[in-house]
């Protein structure tokens, strides 16, 4: 496993642009909310730690991970500098997992192709609940934190380009 015995959520603030002047949109799936709420907390804490202003962070909830696409599309219309799409899909007994994961992946990719606003992919696609726990503040860190750092860097890139 690529993340075994690693916490990938540590970051060096010196290497990250200030988030003070950026507006962030965060779209969070309500499905598997014990996981997505932890991912959101990690993202929010990292944004604030890197200088983002609370009033420049908009959070919207959507029912499930598939709805992240539409929520992100509508969030782009709020004139944010970057969107973070947070969700969690855990493998079950049917192919539903495959369809949702593929659909969300392609939908977020499409938004990045057609829009000038970056959309950060923070969708856990794990085999078990424990794997999701480990990646939402557990032994492998918090993917929400990592998504926030990526969002800051992409907002800065968008501003430069």
Distances (CA, A) of 135 to 15, 29, 47, 139, 145: 23, 16, 18, 7, 10
CB atoms within 10 A of CB 10: 9
CA dist 54 to 19, 21, 71, Å? 11, 11, 20
In three-state secondary structure terms, 21 is: coil
- Residues designated as active site: 96
The two tokens of residue 45 are 């804490």
């Amino acid at each position: 496993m690529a993340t075994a015995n690693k916490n990938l959520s540590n970051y060096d603030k010196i290497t990250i642009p200030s988030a003070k002047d950026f507006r962030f949109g965060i779209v969070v799936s309500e499905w598997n909310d014990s996981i997505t709420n932890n991912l959101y907390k990690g993202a929010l804490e990292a944004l604030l730690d890197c200088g983002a202003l609370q009033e420049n962070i908009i959070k919207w909830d959507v029912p499930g991970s598939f709805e992240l696409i539409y929520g992100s599309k509508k969030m782009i219309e709020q004139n944010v500098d970057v969107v973070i799409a947070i969700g969690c899909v855990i493998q079950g007994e049917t192919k539903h997992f495959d369809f949702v994961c593929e659909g969300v992946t392609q939908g977020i990719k499409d938004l990045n192709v057609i829009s000038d606003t970056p959309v950060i992919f923070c969708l856990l696609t794990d085999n078990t609940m424990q794997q999701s726990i480990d990646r939402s503040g557990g032994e492998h860190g918090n993917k929400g934190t990592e998504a926030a750092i990526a969002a800051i860097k992409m907002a800065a890139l968008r501003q430069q380009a």
